Chain A
Amino acid sequence: MKRRSFLAAGAAGLALPSYARAQGASTLRFIPQIDLAFLDPHWTTAYVTRNHSYLVFDTLFGQDANFNYTHQMLSGHTVENDGKLWKLTLRDGLWWHDGEKVLARDCVASIKRWAKRDAIGGALMDATDELSAADDKTIVFKLKKPFPLLPDALGKSPSPMPAMMPERLANTDPFKQITEIIGSGPYRYVQAERVQGSRNVYAKFDKYTPRPDGALDWTSGPKVAHFERVVWTTMPDAATAAAALQNGEQDWWEYPTADLQPLLRKNAKIKIAFPDPTGGVEMMRPNHLVAPFNNPAVRRAFMYAIDQAEFMQAIVGDDPGMFYTPLGMFCPKTPMASEDGLEPLRGKRDYAKVKEMLKAAGYAGEKTVLMVPTDYVTLKALGDVMADTMARVGMNVDYVATDWGSMLQRRNKKDPVEQGGWSSFITGWAGTDHFSPPAHIALRGNGDQPGSWPGWCVSPELEQMRTAWFDAPDLKGQQDICRKMQVQAMHDVPYFPLGQFQTPTAYRSDITGVLNGFATFWNVRRA
């Protein structure tokens, strides 16, 4: 063989671009937003774990886009004794991935474990006198008082997911991870193929029986799996993820970054969609224990400095369709949202006036430590705008660029800033986390009581209204309370809302059937 022929043959053999794409049409290749570190659905509030969990596990109730809750693992339920006795009946054909039949006692143990890690679950158990399995198919809640939100609790989509698992796993301490990932959902987790930090594999569970009825939406309705396998590949670099999607090596990128979306839009083979109307909601949390934000008047005055559009533009660009302002205390376009009390967030910002207001409120140039986790691009951008806003109104801002892990540690300190404490930090949430009061821990007013969130806002009024919300007789009653909560929150300022933004998702145009909400994998198919 001549040298030139040898080189040509070698180059041809080397260049096998199609290999990466040739994993078969029956595999859906997905790039999650971040690495899937935790597999236990109850153990963490990480959204990526919630998404993974909905592949593997199932819930008793499902939730649709209008926040209605319908039966999912259940065939029905009855409510007796003036709302104090609930009987939930499991539907036929439910199997765990280890081949065992799903029993009511499994679900009882699962509910108990989940409730120890979830706010609304905790409220449900507080209202529960006895939770038991009457037989293999019947779960019985004997309540101390009526709890009409029971379906909402057991079907909630915000993390942690109220996932059902076998009793032997559900008996694990809720503060320890389960070691086997056995659910009853449409896909089973292939633990043997896991490469932590890089790859997670799911295989279609042949014994899964989708429910025969109901509207397919968000986490409710018949979950029909079309792909034999779903493979998640973690890509730490956004540009690589974009290139892999363009090249057809991946089918779906959960969350394309704002700077790469224009590039993807130009590609006719890629579709960018916004399936989750609740998007993301951002905030700055002040420390209510130390100056200057321990002064409610300072908090109220500073609210007038917040230009939510500026914050949103910093993370999603100038397109007004990509964000929503004014954001109040509840996720816009959801039932509890309103615009009551949001006047301080409207209109053009007058920084000179805010400077005067702060002075009048008693701000005397105290150092304001702003913690910004710079390893999260969006939070870094928000932090930069916030530091600038503080500077514009004459605050003595100390911008602490840190990483997420260090910030989570430091924010638990209640010391003054001179002793390593802090004044405020930037964080963000999924919109569904601010859907209603139970899961909305930033809206709590329980001060520095055990179980309170760093920032330690004191507001007995907010706490009273939260309690009343659970007892509200109907949706209108709940909405009335939420309106009042928002007005009260604009007075007490537990945090500064910075706006809501759309969270896009990008997939190859031959992928169809992507449902509303966060990334779910049933109903998705290749055209």
Chain B
Amino acid sequence: MFAYAIRRIIATIPVMAIVALFVFSLLYIAPGDPAAIIAGDQATPADVERIRASLGLDRPFIVRFVEWAWNVLNGDLGVSIFTNLPVRHMIAQRVEPTLSLMVLTLTFAISFAVPMGVIAAWKQGKWIDRMVMVVAVLGFSVPVFVVGYVLAYTFALQLDWFPVQGYTPISQGFGPWINNLALPAIALGSAFIALLARITRATMLEVLSQDYVRTAKAKGVDQKSILFVHGLKNAAVPIVTIIGLGFAGLIGGAVVTESVFAIPGVGRLVVDAILRRDYPVIQGVVLMFSFVYVIVNLCVDLLYTVFDPRIRY
């Protein structure tokens, strides 16, 4: 398995190279000119040209790509056209809030959705099953930003339990950290809970109808063990797959959530960069996201072997 993991990590290199070329090309042909944005509304075309030249944006595509790719290979993601700050520094500043939000959302979603799905499967057709399904439909139907606003209005403005916005690094204490992230994580996790609960329920229904479960019941194994030891472990592979896939969805949702709750994360960084055509930042963030996504998929693949020993690499 170790060799497999190494092979997969090495395989990320061509993937990243293709992503890099694709993103660079896409930005090159996309409309919008960072020099014009920097120059502002009052600028004349001559001003824009001077700024473009000073930024090196007037050089041919291939020259710019080779230079950028070489720098990336040397660990340098470049400097933001707008802020003059190193892209690596900008991403590093934003990683913690986004990572915190993701981790908390995943923790929250898994802790609620999996038991919900298991219980719904156990009590199939009963009121509790229907309630779980109603929650799941609601979670799917209501957009993240609406959930965010409702939560902020209720728990921040009306009840004054949580702050409306912002982020406190975990280094300043667990309490303030989670205090800031609780509402965003619930908002972001709402759709994911719905998805995960439904998948868990469907998979568990299939597993619970298997012969070995019937055998376990006949042997007098208690219900908790049947559900969470025999059932859930065997249903885990598709659930883990959905968690991995959902990670990508969470990245998209984080962009909205970070805006609604004013969290200075990577999602907002990339949106701002796209609107400004801050090419080095966009390229850097997309590269990072693609790397993270590849690694998450690798972790999911490796987890399969934990839940299903028949799987070997």
Question: Which residue numbers of A lie inside 8 Å of B, CB to CB?
Answer: 13-17, 19-21, 35, 37-39, 43-46, 173, 175-177, 179, 195-199, 233-237, 239-241, 243-244, 246-247, 249, 375, 402-406, 408-410, 412, 427, 429, 433, 441, 450-454
Report B82-94 CB contacts with A as 1/0, cut-off 8 Å. Answer: 1111000010011
A499-B68 Cα distance, complex, nearest whole Å = 46
Which residues from A are CB-within-8-Å of B31? 402, 406, 409-410
Contact B179 A233 (CB under 8 A): no
CB distance from B70 to the nearest CB of A (A): 23
Which residues from B are CB-within-8-Å of A412? 36, 45, 48
Closest to A191 in B: B85
Closest to B31 in A: A406
Report B148-183 CB contacts with A as 1/0, cut-off 8 Å. Answer: 010011001100111111101000000110111010
Contact B32 A409 (CB under 8 A): yes
A96-B241 Cα distance, complex, nearest whole Å = 58
| Contact of B138 with A by CB under 8 A | no
CB distance from B152 to the nearest CB of A (A): 6
Name the residue in B39, B42, B176 with the highest tally of chain A Cβ atoms < 10 Å from its Cβ: B42
B168 partner, pick from A19, A247, A402, beta carbons under 8 A? A19
Contact A45 B40 (CB under 8 A): yes
| Contact of B297 with A by CB under 8 A | no
Which residues from A are CB-within-8-Å of B39? 44, 408
Contact A175 B51 (CB under 8 A): yes
Known contacts A39-B83, A236-B259, A450-B46; can you find 19 more A-B pairs with CB under 8 A? A13-B175, A14-B175, A14-B182, A15-B161, A15-B162, A17-B160, A17-B179, A19-B163, A20-B180, A21-B163, A37-B276, A236-B268, A239-B149, A240-B152, A240-B260, A402-B31, A404-B37, A406-B31, A451-B44
| Contact of B277 with A by CB under 8 A | yes
A177-B45 Cα distance, complex, nearest whole Å = 19
Contact A405 B276 (CB under 8 A): yes
| Contact of B67 with A by CB under 8 A | no
Contact B41 A237 (CB under 8 A): no
On chain B, the number of residues with a Cβ less than 8 Å from chain A's Cβ atoms is 58
Contact A38 B32 (CB under 8 A): no
Contact A15 B179 (CB under 8 A): yes
Report B263-303 CB contacts with A as 1/0, cut-off 8 Å. Answer: 01000110110011100000000000000000000000000
Nearest 8 A/B pairs, CB to CB: A198-B264, A20-B163, A408-B36, A409-B33, A405-B32, A15-B161, A243-B164, A16-B179
A64-B37 Cα distance, complex, nearest whole Å = 31
A199 partner, pick from B156, B160, B162, B264, beta carbons under 8 A? B264
Contact B165 A243 (CB under 8 A): yes
Which residues from A are CB-within-8-Å of B178? 14
CB distance from B227 to the nearest CB of A (A): 20
A35-B82 Cα distance, complex, nearest whole Å = 12
A203-B43 Cα distance, complex, nearest whole Å = 32
CB distance from A423 to the nearest CB of B (A): 18
Contact A243 B33 (CB under 8 A): no
CB distance from B27 to the nearest CB of A (A): 12
Task: Name A's interface SS.
Answer: loop
Which residues from A are CB-within-8-Å of B41? 45, 408, 427, 429
A175-B38 Cα distance, complex, nearest whole Å = 10
CB distance from B76 to the nearest CB of A (A): 17
Which residues from B are CB-within-8-Å of A433? 42
B176 partner, pick from A19, A37, A402, A409, beta carbons under 8 A? A19
Report B62-99 CB contacts with A as 1/0, cut-off 8 Å. Answer: 00000000000000000010111100001001100000
Which residues from B are CB-within-8-Å of A46? 40
Which residues from B are CB-within-8-Å of A35? 272
A249/B163 contact (C-beta < 8 A), A406-B31, A409-B36 known: yes
Which residues from A are CB-within-8-Å of B82? 37-38
CB distance from B148 to the nearest CB of A (A): 9
Contact A247 B54 (CB under 8 A): no
Which residues from A are CB-within-8-Å of B179? 14-17, 19-20
A404-B276 Cα distance, complex, nearest whole Å = 9
B275 partner, pick from A196, A237, A404, beta carbons under 8 A? A404
Which residues from B are CB-within-8-Å of A240? 152, 164-165, 259-262
Contact A17 B156 (CB under 8 A): yes
Closest to B32 in A: A405
| Contact of B139 with A by CB under 8 A | no
Which residues from B are CB-within-8-Å of A179? 84
Closest to B179 in A: A16
Contact A237 B166 (CB under 8 A): no
Which residues from B are CB-within-8-Å of A375? 275
Closest to B168 in A: A19
CB distance from A456 to the nearest CB of B (A): 10
Name the residue in A13, A44, A240 with the highest tally of chain B Cβ atoms < 10 Å from its Cβ: A240
Which residues from B are CB-within-8-Å of A16? 175-176, 179
CB distance from A526 to the nearest CB of B (A): 20
CB distance from B62 to the nearest CB of A (A): 22
Which residues from A are CB-within-8-Å of B260? 237, 239-240
A433-B168 Cα distance, complex, nearest whole Å = 39
Name the residue in A17, A246, A429, A441 with the highest tally of chain B Cβ atoms < 10 Å from its Cβ: A17
Which residues from A are CB-within-8-Å of B90? 196
A244/B33 contact (C-beta < 8 A), A16-B179, A236-B259, A237-B262 known: no
Closest to B93 in A: A195
CB distance from A13 to the nearest CB of B (A): 6
Contact A405 B164 (CB under 8 A): no
Which residues from A are CB-within-8-Å of B51? 175
| Contact of B214 with A by CB under 8 A | no
Closest to B174 in A: A13
A175/B50 contact (C-beta < 8 A), A16-B175, A243-B164 known: yes
A402-B166 Cα distance, complex, nearest whole Å = 30
Which residues from B are CB-within-8-Å of A44? 38-40
Which residues from A are CB-within-8-Å of B157? 243, 246-247
A35-B275 Cα distance, complex, nearest whole Å = 12
CB distance from B132 to the nearest CB of A (A): 21
| Contact of B253 with A by CB under 8 A | no
CB distance from A284 to the nearest CB of B (A): 13
Closest to A199 in B: B264
Closest to B41 in A: A427
Contact A244 B38 (CB under 8 A): no
Which residues from B are CB-within-8-Å of A175? 50-51, 54
Closest to B161 in A: A15
Contact B262 A236 (CB under 8 A): yes
Contact A197 B32 (CB under 8 A): no
Contact A247 B272 (CB under 8 A): no
Closest to A29 in B: B166
A197-B266 Cα distance, complex, nearest whole Å = 10
Which residues from A are CB-within-8-Å of B34? 405
Contact A235 B32 (CB under 8 A): no
Contact A19 B156 (CB under 8 A): no
Instruction: Identify 15 residue pairs between A and B in the complex whose beta-carbon atoms are under 8 Å apart, listed by A's number.
Output: A16-B179, A20-B163, A20-B166, A20-B179, A199-B264, A233-B262, A375-B275, A403-B32, A405-B33, A408-B37, A409-B32, A409-B33, A412-B45, A412-B48, A453-B44
